[in-house]
Amino acid sequence: MSTQEIRFSGFGGQGIIRCALITGKALSLYDDKFATMTQSFGPEARGSACAAQLVVSDSRILYPYITHPGILMALSQEAYDKYYGELPDGGVLIVENDLVKLQSEHTNLKMYRVPATRFAEELGNRLFTNLVALGFLTAVTKVVTDDAMKKALPGLVPDRFLKINIKAFEKGYNHGLEALSAAGAAS
């Protein structure tokens, strides 16, 4: 892998910062990688633009900020509009299927759609959207293992919701495996 840069983006209240925290913890503590995280959000917090950036590497990270994100997870239209142009050819774009309208076909990118909000609502609460999206990202990018992600959840999600968060993660992960299989069959 050497170094990989990931941008998680959406709006405040979707758990964007938590996505980066969980992924960074999983990589650093359970997948024997190095990770740094930075974050930004609007002054209004809930409902305003929000992003978290994660640099992942097999060796020590000397510069903690992303310069060329190779993976973008956009869970809102505003986040997609703002960041999709930064992805290089061959980059990975993951968008929330029901909230993001694409500006182009993105034939130069590995493009994935996940109905994370809908899946979370089926599980009982749209607050699980971020875990569905994280499961999906884990399956399609292979940046982090699913086992490490599950081990990282305690302490970063409320104990009383741990089981449902794992279920949400698994729902997204399984959907991601299906998406990979469908993409492989199409090529």
Give the closest residue to 20 by CA, choosing from 33, 4, 37, 32: 37
Instruction: Tell me 115's DSSP state.
Output: -
CATH architecture of 3-181: 3-Layer(aba) Sandwich (3.40)
For 99-137, how does the pLDDT look when each residue is reduced to its tens digit (9 = 90+)?
999 988 888 999 999 999 999 999 999 999 999 999 999
Q: How far is CA 108 from the centre of its chain?
A: 20
pTM for the model stands at: 0.93
What is the rounded distance in angstroms from the CA atom of residue 131 to the CA atom of residue 16? Answer: 10
Instruction: Please tell me the total number of residues recorded for the chain in this structure.
Output: 187
What is the rounded distance in angstroms from the CA atom of residue 87 to the CA atom of residue 110? Answer: 10
Give the 3-state secondary structure of residue 100: coil
Q: Which two tokens stand for residue 109?
A: 């990118």
What is the rounded distance in angstroms from the CA atom of residue 43 to the CA atom of residue 45? Answer: 5
For 14-41, how does the pLDDT look when each residue is reduced to its tens digit (9 = 90+)?
899 999 999 999 999 999 999 999 987 6
Which residues are within 8 A (CB) of 124 and not within 5 positions of it... i.e. 6 or more apart? 164
- For the chain, domain boundaries: 3-181
